[in-house]
Amino acid sequence: MSGRHGFRRVVVANRGEIAARVIRTCRRLGIETVLTVSDADAGSPPARLADKTIRIGPAPAAASYLDADAIVSAAVAAGADAIHPGYGFLSENARLARACAAAGVVFIGPAPETLEATGDKLAAREHAVAAGLPVLPGRHVLPDAGAGEVAAAIGFPVLVKAAGGGGGRGLRVVRDPGELEHAVAVASAEAEAAFGDARVYLERYVSPARHVEVQLLGDGERVVHLGTRDCSVQRRYQKLIEEAPAPLLGDDLRGWLHAAAVAIGEHLRYRGAGTVEFLVDPEREEFYFLEVNARIQVEHPVTEAITGLDLVEEQIAIAEGRPLRVRQDAVTFAGHAIECRVNAEDPRHDFLPSPGTVTRAVFPSPPAVRVDTHIQAGATVPPHYDSLLAKVIAHGDGRGDALATLRGALDRCAVDGVITNLDMHRGLLADPEFGKGGVDTRYLERWLAREGTLADGMESAAYVLDDHE
Amino acid sequence: MSDLELVDVSLRDGNQSLWGATGLRTAHVAQIAPVLNRVGFRALDFSSSTAMGVSVRTHRENPWDLLRLTRKAMPDTRLQFIGTGFRFISWERAHPEVMELVYTSLVNAGMDRFVVLDPTHDMDAVRETARIIKKAAGGTGAEVIGALTYTVSEAHDDAFYAGIARQYAECRDIDRAYVKDPAGILTPERARTLIPAVLAELGGKPLELHAHASLGLSPLTCLVAAELGVRVLQVGCGALGNGTSLPDAERLVANLRASGHTVDVDDRLLATVARYFDGVAEAEGLPAGQPREFDAAFMHHQVAGGVMTTLRRQLAELGMEHRFGAVMEEIGLVRAELGYPIMVTPFPQMVIGQALANVLSGGARYDQVPDQVIRYVLGKFGKPTMPVEPSVLDRILSRPRAAELAEEPPPLSVPELRHRFGERVGDEELLLRFGMPGGEVDGMISGPPAATHYNPDTQPVLRLLRELAGRPPAAELTVDKPGFRLTLKGGDRD
């Protein structure tokens, strides 16, 4: 035990609030940060927070944040020990993980093999089955290759989705067998275009259902769970409100979810922070494996609030080669936490993104609430990336306390210069149905219709709103 | 390959020497612990029973929680606990079983380096303490470091320390040793004979140097020690270095490198830590350690840094700052009469207590004698290194209180403590209740959990806001300076 320990310098290969959040933990730990930026983000608040910045390309993500070679080169040039990929972009990209290994830089995330196993929906499903997890009935098909028979065997309605996709692209629900052929063809074409993989997956469509996920930490040998999160308030597979723990689940069901998540984590010899997503039918006390997200998630702060852990710190510790620092019996859950994602988008106009310059940004301060944001007055919201401005997280002794705190916190938020969904959040938090807890994944659609904010464009959207990613 | 390692004493001895052990709270420590872990220190001098007592009494914070959360934040750096092996928080002697429970509880809370120290160099006591610690540590790999407490007296020549070093070499429960110079009186010249004499007998076990900077000597003595084969130097960082603490880490590293040594620490993080403590000092109104000038009179009283700070505070509380010189003079005299106890805890407190009593009595010396001095003279803290002056011995032992204390019942055993404080009290709380008044422990338990984040930069604004909140409402508050004007106006709350 002598000399220096751990990473000295880490490249943060992301942008926005997660870049600021990772930088904050690195700074607390005494780790120097190098932020890779596109031209659009060179003057962003995270770029000012980081110790150094390296430009990796022009604004479009494909030419910057999705350029694995540029990121690895930046890490090597900066003399960094490791890369933290954040979420989205290349966070689950096995090629980046392998390129890091080849360059002698640590990828702060799971092993490339794990990323490959979890990144492909079919492979992930096979692993889940091997680990003994319940999965929805389903099979993959190619266009013009017996989709009708497969769907009939599964039973309508069926969900058609891209085998290699994520984030809700290429997903549609088919209720009428007559529409199946067309849906498969379109999904396949989209999947081919987006992911270079034309395979399509058909599976049983369950509704109503809740989206519940379990946070895992693993060190390659041991896996612990950090409890559940409920992310059922979502639109087009984009989560808007998340909470921990998932409310109104029976003790048995919650225990099964925990055990199932740990089982697949152990099966994968999971290393790092990850999340196992489930579709839950609380009435029948049934659940089905959906997928593994092999990265830090947007909604991780609600888990941090109730466990008292810093998940980014734990990711770093694991990547430094340390054994897990938390034992399952030492993980405790205190109270309840709820998070609202404040986005620069207009709920009254089909959630149209609203890029621009923020002229005023007021957020409440801790300790009552936590706000993860990269936005200050004067900050730019570029059109090239997602529209997340801030996450407002409240923690209370119980769900009611957390909700009351969060309502008060949102009332004190003010963002001018871009249109935000703050009013929508205020409305949702005031809604008695949400207040009761345990809403399903179609809740937001119903609420929007009821509140009359559902714009025309949404109804004609090709996507069906109710789904579970 | 680094040829020298550092042990940082900021959190324990720095805080004790410069800030009376009361400066640092859990939040101050928790905030910087992850960074301290990455600097590359071999170990931190981290806690003591005194520090734990202060946590409870002054801050109402659970000291065991602080140990645990620091261990969690510092997986790579050894955390040292320093103690005499015969007491815990209270000045009274503890039952050996109680001390065993103390060490077991400390190991469980994550401490993995222990100083064994007997102020009279009673080696049987040292070996027994080392044995208890190794037993408590089990297979955790905790290391034990034996102290060679340096002082200047007729008895304490190089051969004396070489003899102790030989016994450390022979003791399998002691892994390494350090020269501990609490008063900062080890000169470079003396180091040139003392250190080779000690190293020659230490049987290859590593030797460290812990020399306070009180007289400005130790920054130089450390350089000499490095040249002579000392492997580890103990330092303080930023505001918690220099003064009556240990040499400043940044300066010492620079000086060592300039002398051709390699020191494998992360300079950027070392500076981060130092500036953090500077920030804490400024935000909390605590004095920053400054380089000291040589003071020949110091050789007479040999009062260490922390004790000196406490003494000045006590004198101020008594309105007796002007008697400081007289008290210092009396301390030197009392120390000689009591047989030159080395001025490390608990003896400075004892000598100073007696000296204060002598000065306050206005000439009637030894008219009042604290119980601890009587116990010392009765031999309850081990055999004095040199005999107590006979007339003083008589005067003390002829007191009726001396007879009472001689008949003192033995200290309570663990089962007796459990009986007294209740079977349902856990070990950690039991030990606090053993060492402290119950009301202080109750106060800690009823308090809120300690904060674990601290930002020195925000303290002035937070203080301003607290002060404003505590005043009658003002209609308007204006902060005005060139190029900047902030005005807050009162209004109805919504």
Express each pLDDT in B211-249 by its tens digit: 999 999 999 999 999 999 999 999 999 999 999 999 999
What percent of chain B has a predicted confidence (pLDDT) above 90? 70
The full DSSP string for B140-199 is S--EEEEEEE---SSS--HHHHHHHHHHHHH-TT--EEEEEETT----HHHHHHHHHHHH
CA of A28 vs chain B CAs: smallest distance (Å): 7
Of the spans A61-75, B86-100, B359-373, which averages the highest pLDDT?
A61-75
**Closest CA relative to residue A338, chosen from A370, A373, A292:** A370
- Using 50, 70 and 90 to split pLDDT, how confident is the model at A457? very low
**In one letter, which amino acid is B475?**
A
- Using 50, 70 and 90 to split pLDDT, how confident is the model at A164? low
pLDDT of residue B2: 60
Q: Is the pLDDT of residue A7 over 80?
A: yes
- Cβ <8 Å between B264 and A31: no
Q: Is the pLDDT of residue A2 over 50?
A: no
- Using 50, 70 and 90 to split pLDDT, how confident is the model at B118? confident
pLDDT of residue A120: 86
Tokens of B352: 């100073």
Tell me the chain A residues in contact with residue B39 when contact means C-beta distances shorter than 8 Å: 4, 30
Q: Which residue of B has its CA nearest to A2?
A: B42
- Among B41, B79, B208, B462, the strongest candidate for a mutation testing the A interface, having the largest count of A CBs within 10 A, is B41
Q: Is the pLDDT of residue A222 over 80?
A: yes
Homologous superfamily (CATH) for B3-284: Aldolase class I (3.20.20.70)
- Cβ <8 Å between B38 and A5: yes
Q: Per CATH, the architecture of B298-398 is what? A: Orthogonal Bundle (1.10)
Residues A16-63 pLDDT 10s? 999 999 999 999 999 999 999 999 999 999 999 999 999 999 999 999
pLDDT of residue A51: 97
In the predicted model, what is the mean pLDDT of chain A?
Answer: 91
Residue B365 sits at φ, ψ, to 5 deg, of -70, 145
- For helices B26-39 and B63-73, give the axis angle rounded to 10 degrees: 30
Lowest mean pLDDT among A24-33, A161-170, A445-454: A161-170
Cα-only R_g, chain A: 21
* Residue B389 and residue B336 in contact, taking contact as beta carbons nearer than 8 Å: yes
- Cβ <8 Å between A322 and B265: no
pLDDT of residue A464: 36
Residue A121 CA to residue A19 CA, distance in Å, equals 27
- Cβ <8 Å between B77 and A30: no
Residues of A at the B interface, defined by Cβ within 8 angstroms: 1-6, 8, 28-32, 313, 317, 322, 325
In what side-by-side order are the strands of the sheet with A9-12?
A: A52-57, A32-38, A9-12, A82-84, A106-107
Q: Is the pLDDT of residue A460 over 50?
A: no
pLDDT of residue B7: 98
Residue B94 CA to residue B430 CA, distance in Å, equals 13
What percent of chain A has a predicted confidence (pLDDT) above 70? 94
Q: Residue A2, Cβ neighbours under 10 Å: how many?
A: 18
Tell me the chain B residues in contact with residue A2 when contact means C-beta distances shorter than 8 Å: 2, 5, 40, 42, 264
Residue A328 CA to residue A74 CA, distance in Å, equals 37
Residue A94 CA to residue A107 CA, distance in Å, equals 10
CA of B34 vs chain A CAs: smallest distance (Å): 5
Q: Which residue of A has its CA nearest to B451?
A: A367
- Cβ <8 Å between A4 and B5: no
Residue carrying structure tokens 């962003």 = A44
Q: How far is CA A445 from the centre of its chain?
A: 20
Tokens of B214: 């009180």
Task: Write out the residue limits of the CATH 1.10.472.90 domain(s) in chain B.
Answer: 298-398
pLDDT of residue B487: 87
- Using 50, 70 and 90 to split pLDDT, how confident is the model at A153? confident
- Cβ <8 Å between A6 and B38: yes
pLDDT of residue B477: 81
Task: Write out the residue limits of the CATH 3.20.20.70 domain(s) in chain B.
Answer: 3-284
* Residue B167 and residue B176 in contact, taking contact as beta carbons nearer than 8 Å: no
The full DSSP string for A327-357 is -GGG----SEEEEEEEESEEGGGTTEE--EE
* Residue A383 and residue A353 in contact, taking contact as beta carbons nearer than 8 Å: yes
CA of B39 vs chain A CAs: smallest distance (Å): 6
pLDDT of residue A165: 59
Please indicate if any CB of chain A lies within 8 Å of the CB of B80. Answer: no
- Cβ <8 Å between A30 and B35: yes
Residues B139-151 pLDDT 10s? 899 999 999 999 8
Tell me the chain A residues in contact with residue B274 when contact means C-beta distances shorter than 8 Å: none
CA of B438 vs chain A CAs: smallest distance (Å): 29
CB contacts under 8 A, B 39-78 vs A, are 39-40, 42-43, 72, 75-78
Lowest mean pLDDT among A126-135, B278-287, B398-407: B398-407
Tokens of A427: 């409305």
Q: Residue A176, Cβ neighbours under 10 Å: how many?
A: 9
- Using 50, 70 and 90 to split pLDDT, how confident is the model at A196? confident
pLDDT of residue A463: 35
DSSP state of B87: -
- Among B35, B65, B233, B276, the strongest candidate for a mutation testing the A interface, having the largest count of A CBs within 10 A, is B35
CB contacts under 8 A, B 237-276 vs A, are 264-266, 268-269, 272
Which one of B38, B75, B264 has the shortest CB-CB distance to A30? B38
Q: Averaged over B364-378, what is the pLDDT?
A: 91
- Cβ <8 Å between A6 and B39: no
Name the CA dihedral angle for A366, A368, A374, A380, rounded to a multiple of 10 degrees.
-110
- Cβ <8 Å between A3 and B40: yes
Lowest mean pLDDT among A58-62, A168-172, A366-370: A168-172
- Cβ <8 Å between A325 and B75: yes
Tell me the chain B residues in contact with residue A6 when contact means C-beta distances shorter than 8 Å: 37-38, 76
pLDDT of residue A462: 32
pLDDT of residue B478: 86
- Cβ <8 Å between A32 and B268: yes
The full DSSP string for A192-249 is HHHHS---EEEEE---S-EEEEEEEEEESS-EEEEEEEEEEEEETTEEEEEEESPSS-
A95 in active site: no
Q: Which residue of A has its CA nearest to B268?
A: A30
Residue A211 sits at φ, ψ, to 5 deg, of -100, 110
- Using 50, 70 and 90 to split pLDDT, how confident is the model at A358? very high
What is each CA distance from B149 to A452, B173, B300, B345, in whole angstroms?
81, 19, 17, 11
Q: Averaged over B295-317, what is the pLDDT?
A: 79
pLDDT of residue A201: 85
Q: Is the pLDDT of residue A241 over 90?
A: yes
Residue A460 CA to residue A448 CA, distance in Å, equals 15
User: Under 8 Å CB-to-CB from A411, ≥6 apart: which residues?
Assistant: A426
DSSP state of B449: P
Q: Is the pLDDT of residue A212 over 50?
A: yes
Residue with the bigger pLDDT between B91 and A15: it is: A15
Residue A166 CA to residue A181 CA, distance in Å, equals 22
Q: Residue A197, Cβ neighbours under 10 Å: how many?
A: 15
pLDDT of residue A468: 35
* Residue A23 and residue A12 in contact, taking contact as beta carbons nearer than 8 Å: yes
Lowest mean pLDDT among A102-116, B388-402, B465-479: B465-479
Q: Is the pLDDT of residue A465 over 70?
A: no
Residues A294-327 pLDDT 10s? 999 999 999 999 999 999 999 999 999 999 999 9
Cα-only R_g, chain B: 24
- Cβ <8 Å between B40 and A4: yes
**Closest CA relative to residue B272, chosen from B454, B453, B39, B70:** B39
Tokens of B466: 């607290």
- Among B4, B76, B455, the strongest candidate for a mutation testing the A interface, having the largest count of A CBs within 10 A, is B76
- Among B42, B269, B452, B465, the strongest candidate for a mutation testing the A interface, having the largest count of A CBs within 10 A, is B269
- Cβ <8 Å between A32 and B265: no
**What ranges in B259-399 are assigned the alpha helix state H?**
267-284, 298-301, 305-317, 324-337, 347-360, 371-377, 390-397
Q: Is the pLDDT of residue B55 over 60?
A: yes
Name the CA dihedral angle for A60, A65, A66, A69, rounded to a multiple of 10 degrees.
120
* Residue A127 and residue A113 in contact, taking contact as beta carbons nearer than 8 Å: no
Which contacts (CB < 8 Å, 24+ apart) does range B417-426 have? B417/B98
**What residues does A346 pair with on adjacent strands?**
A352
Residue B377 CA to residue B383 CA, distance in Å, equals 9
In the predicted model, what is the mean pLDDT of chain B?
Answer: 92
Q: Is the pLDDT of residue A116 over 70?
A: yes
**Closest CA relative to residue A91, chosen from A167, A169, A191:** A167
CA of A362 vs chain B CAs: smallest distance (Å): 17
Residue with the bigger pLDDT between B304 and B322: it is: B322
Name the CA dihedral angle for A68, A73, A78, A79, rounded to a multiple of 10 degrees.
100
CA triplet A333, A30, B115: central angle to 5 degrees? 85
**Closest CA relative to residue B433, chosen from B415, B417, B452:** B417
Q: Averaged over B97-121, what is the pLDDT?
A: 94
CA of B276 vs chain A CAs: smallest distance (Å): 12
Residues A262-277 pLDDT 10s? 999 999 999 999 999 9
Residues A394-418 pLDDT 10s? 999 999 999 999 999 999 999 999 9
- Cβ <8 Å between B42 and A2: yes
pLDDT of residue A458: 39
Residue B413 CA to residue B98 CA, distance in Å, equals 6
Q: Catalytic one among A295, A370, A399, A442? A: A295
pLDDT of residue B220: 97
Which one of A2, A4, A325 has the shortest CB-CB distance to B38? A4
E strands present in A112-222: 138-141, 158-162, 172-174, 200-204, 210-219
Lowest mean pLDDT among A114-123, B4-13, B241-250: A114-123
Q: Is the pLDDT of residue A467 over 50?
A: no
